[in-house]
Amino acid sequence: MSKHLICNESELPLNTMKAVKLDGNNVLVYHIEDGFYATQSSCTHVFAPLKKGKIVDGCKIECPLHRARFDIRSGEVVDWANFPPGIQLLNAVRKEKALATYSVSLEEGNVFVSV
Ligand code: FES
């Protein structure tokens, strides 16, 4: 496992996210009310880029494509893909799957992610 400096915490304001590539992994780093978190950056449904999605309810990332929602803190699915109507047909083969998460640490105001 290696630890990477992402940025100073002041460069990642509350309710924003930053996409980075760490050792070949596409990672999304978030700053939410509960702190700093990191998940894989592609949706587990059909791999849309979550960096184009939005943070909702202060702690969830919503996929821009079919609106699956994941808890940023745990990666768990909160709501599976539900848009547009009919997407449920695809869900028969694309089952719910949590996002991979990465550990984040804050040291002297700098944000680090370990992958
Ligand atoms: S790709 Fe994210 S919900 Fe379908």
Question: How many angstroms from the chain centroid is the CA of residue 81?
Answer: 15
CATH of the domain at 19: 2.102.10.10
**Which helix or strand (DSSP H or E) is residue 11 part of?**
none
| C-alpha pair distances (Å), 10 with each of 7, 17, 53, 62, 108 | 8, 12, 22, 24, 12
- Residue 28: pLDDT band by 50, 70, 90 thresholds? very high
- Structural domain including 67 reads 3-114
Atom of ligand 1 lying closest to residue 94 CA: 4
What Rg value do the Cα atoms of the chain yield, rounded? 14
- Give pLDDT tens digits for 39-93: 999 999 999 999 999 999 999 999 999 999 999 999 999 999 999 999 999 999 9
By C-alpha distance, which of 110, 82, 104, 108 is closest to 27?
A: 104
What are the tokens at 86?
Answer: 């009919």
Instruction: Count up the domains in the chain and report the number.
Output: 1
pTM of the model: 0.96
Q: Which residues does a 6 A CB cutoff place in the pocket of ligand 1?
A: 43, 45-46, 48, 63, 65-66, 68, 81
